[in-house]
Structure 1
Amino acid sequence: MYQTLFLLVGLIVVTSCSELNRTKDDLTQNAQVYAEDAFNTLEYAKSFNHQNSDIHERSVAQIVFPKAVKGSFIFGGNYAEGYLVENGQIIDQIRMIGGNIGPNIGGQSYSQITYIMDPGTLFEIQTGQKFSLKGTASYAKSGQSMTDIFGQISDGQSLITVIFNQSGYLAGISFEGTYISLKK
C-alpha cells in the first residue's frame, strides 16, 4: 500500500517538475526580444511624449525592455529581457527580475525604458548589477491599464523609468524590488 502511494506521489512530482521546466521555457521564449524591437520602442517612447524625448536627450544610456510581463496576487513578480543602448548602439543584453508585495491582483505586459542619467550608474550596470526599490500604483483609466511609479529609491536617483504600452489588467498598489543585470 505504502509503496504504491510512494510511487504515485513520485510520479506526480516528476511530472510536475517537467511541466515547470516547460513553463519556464515557454516564458523565456515569450520574453525573447530582438534589437529591432528595442530601437522601435525607443522611437515610440520619444514620439508619444515630449518629456520622454527630453529625458532621452539628457540620458547617457537607456535600458530598453520592449516586452516585460508582470503578475500579482498579493505577492507577484516581473520579468523582462532587453538591451543596454548607448549613443544609438546596443552595448549589452540585459535581464530584469523583480518581485512585489501589496494588495495587487492581475497581470499585464508592458514596455519599459530606464534612462541612465549619469556615467557612474552606467559603469555600475556594465560591471555588475543594479537593484532599485520603488512603489507602483496600477489602475484603470478610461478603459486602459495605467501604472504610476512613486517613491523610487535608487542610488542617487540616477535612473528614470517610464512604463507604457500596457495590456492586460493589474489593479492595486505595491512595493517592488527590481534587479537589473547583464544577460550572460
Structure 2
Amino acid sequence: MTQISRRGLILTGAASLGLAGCGNGIGTDGAAKLDARVDAMRDYLLSRYPGTQDLMSKAVGVLYMPLMTEAGFGFGGAYGRGALRINNVTVDYYSAASASFGFQIGAQQYAHALFFMTEPALAEFRRAQGWALGADARYALPDGGGAIGTDTTTTLAPVIALVFGQAGLIAGATLEGTKYTRIIP
C-alpha cells in the first residue's frame, strides 16, 4: 500500500485545480469573447436539441456555462465562466467552481446551462453572494435522438440543469457542490 504524504496530497490538489483552469481561458476572456461563446453554445443547443427551445421560452432566465474544465487525481476541481441571460440579453457574468475528493483520476470538459423556471429562483440566484446548486434543481439529460429529458416533474422544478458535450477521460459530470459567483470579465 502506498502512502501519500500531506505535502504530496496538497500538491496533487493544487495541480488538479491548476489543470482544471487549463484551456478554458481563465483571465483571457473579455465580455465580448464570453458572449460569443455563450451565443455559440445557445445555437448548438437549439440545433442539436430542438426541445431546448420550449425550455428556453418557459424559463425566466438562463445561465450558460459554455466550457467547464474538470481534472482530478484524488483531489479534483472544476472551473468555468459564463453569462446569465434574461430575454436573451446578458445581464451578468458568472464563474463556476467546484472541488472534490475521492477515487478519481482524469480530466474532461463539458458545458451546462441552468434554466431558471420561476422568478423567485432567479431572484435568489442573483441576490446570493455565492450560490450552490441545491436540491430544488432537476437534471434534464439530452439523449442521442436530440431530445431533452424533461417531463412534468422536471418542468415544475424551480431550476433545471442541463449538462452536455462531455469530452475527456473522467467518469461523469455533476454540478452538485458547484458554487456560482458573479464576476466582471
TM-score w.r.t. length of structure 2: 0.65
Counterpart among 25, 30, 35 of residue 25 in structure 2:
30
Q: CA deviation at 1:133?
A: 4.9
Residue aligning to 1:143: none
Q: Distance in 1 between matches of 2:64 and 2:58?
A: 16
1:12-33 deviation per Cα after TM superposition (whole angstroms, max 9, x unaligned):
xxxx9xxx9xx69x74872435
Identity over aligned residues, as a percent?
22
Q: Distance in 2 between matches of 1:105 and 1:60?
A: 37
Q: Distance in 2 between matches of 1:173 and 1:90?
A: 26
Q: Distance in 1 between matches of 2:55 and 2:169?
A: 28
Q: Distance in 1 between matches of 2:24 and 2:66?
A: 14
Residue aligning to 1:109: 109
Q: Distance in 2 between matches of 1:101 and 1:158?
A: 29
Residue aligning to 1:164: 164
Residue aligning to 1:177: 177
- Counterparts of 1:40-55 in structure 2, within 5 Å, are 40-55=40-55
Q: What is the aligned-residue RMSD (CA, Å)?
A: 3.2
Q: Distance in 2 between matches of 1:175 and 1:98?
A: 8
1:53-106 deviation per Cα after TM superposition (whole angstroms, max 9, x unaligned):
222221111111111101123431111111001101000011111123443321
Which protein is richer in strand relative to its size?
1
TM-score w.r.t. length of structure 1: 0.65
Residue aligning to 1:86: 86
Which protein is richer in helix relative to its size?
1
Q: Distance in 2 between matches of 1:48 and 1:174?
A: 21
- Larger gyration radius, structure 1 or structure 2: 1
Residue aligning to 2:139: none
Residue aligning to 2:133: 132
Q: Distance in 2 between matches of 1:122 and 1:73?
A: 35
1:102-128 deviation per Cα after TM superposition (whole angstroms, max 9, x unaligned):
433211111111111111121122222
Q: Relative to 1, partners in 2 of residues 1:175 and 1:67: Cα closer, same or farther, differing over 3 Å?
A: closer
Q: Distance in 1 between matches of 2:173 and 2:81?
A: 24
In the alignment, structure 2 segments of 5+ residues that lack a partner are: 1-10, 136-155
Whether the 8 Å contact between 1:102 and 1:172 is mirrored in structure 2 is no
SS of the residue 1:84 aligns to: strand
Q: Distance in 1 between matches of 2:158 and 2:75?
A: 27
Q: Relative to 1, partners in 2 of residues 1:99 and 1:90: Cα closer, same or farther, differing over 3 Å?
A: same
